[in-house]
Amino acid sequence: MTNKWETKISSSGKDSVVRGIDREKIMDMEFADAIWLLLKGEKPSEKESKIFNTILSSSIDHGVGNPSTVSARTVQSGGNDMNTSVAGGVLALGDKHGGAIEECMRILQSQESAREIVERYLENGDKIPGLGHKVYDDQDPRAQKLLQRAEDLGLAGDGIEKMREIQKVFADEKVSLVMNVDAGIAAVMSDLGWSPELGKGFFIIARTPGLVAHVHEEMDEPDFRRQDGEYKGD
pLDDT at 97: 86
Does residue 17 belong to any structural domain of this protein?
no
Q: Is the pLDDT of residue 25 over 60?
A: yes
Does residue 7 belong to any structural domain of this protein?
no
Q: Which structural domain, as residue segments, surrounds residue 79? A: 46-224
Does residue 205 belong to any structural domain of this protein?
yes
Neighbours of 122 (CB within 10 A): 14
- State the Cα–Cα distance between residues 196 and 108, nearest whole angstrom: 10
- State the Cα–Cα distance between residues 198 and 196, nearest whole angstrom: 5
Q: What's the mean pLDDT when you consider all of the chain?
A: 92
When pLDDT is averaged across residues 212-228 and rounded to a whole number, the result is: 91
CA distances, 174 to each of 91, 134, 168, 184, 185 (Å): 33, 18, 10, 21, 24
pLDDT at 1: 56
pLDDT at 90: 97
Q: Is the pLDDT of residue 234 over 90?
A: no
Does residue 10 belong to any structural domain of this protein?
no
Does residue 28 belong to any structural domain of this protein?
no
Over the stretch 122-163, which tens digit does the pLDDT of each residue have?
999 888 998 887 777 778 899 999 999 999 999 999 999 999
Looking at the chain, the whole-number percentage of residues with pLDDT higher than 70 is 99
Greater confidence (173 vs 84) lies with: 84
Identity of the residue numbered 229: G
pLDDT band at 4 (very low <50, low <70, confident <90, very high): confident
pLDDT at 2: 67
Q: What is the DSSP string of 191-209?
A: HTT--GGGHHHHHHHHHHH
Total length of the chain: 234
Does residue 144 belong to any structural domain of this protein?
yes
The total number of structural domains in the chain stands at 1
CATH number of the domain bearing residue 88: 1.10.230.10
Closest Cα partner for 72 from 231, 228, 221, 198?
221
Widest Cα–Cα separation across the chain: 65
pTM of the predicted protein model: 0.90
Does residue 37 belong to any structural domain of this protein?
no
Does residue 9 belong to any structural domain of this protein?
no
Over the stretch 158-199, which tens digit does the pLDDT of each residue have?
999 999 999 999 888 887 888 999 999 999 999 999 999 999
Looking at the chain, the whole-number percentage of residues with pLDDT higher than 90 is 73
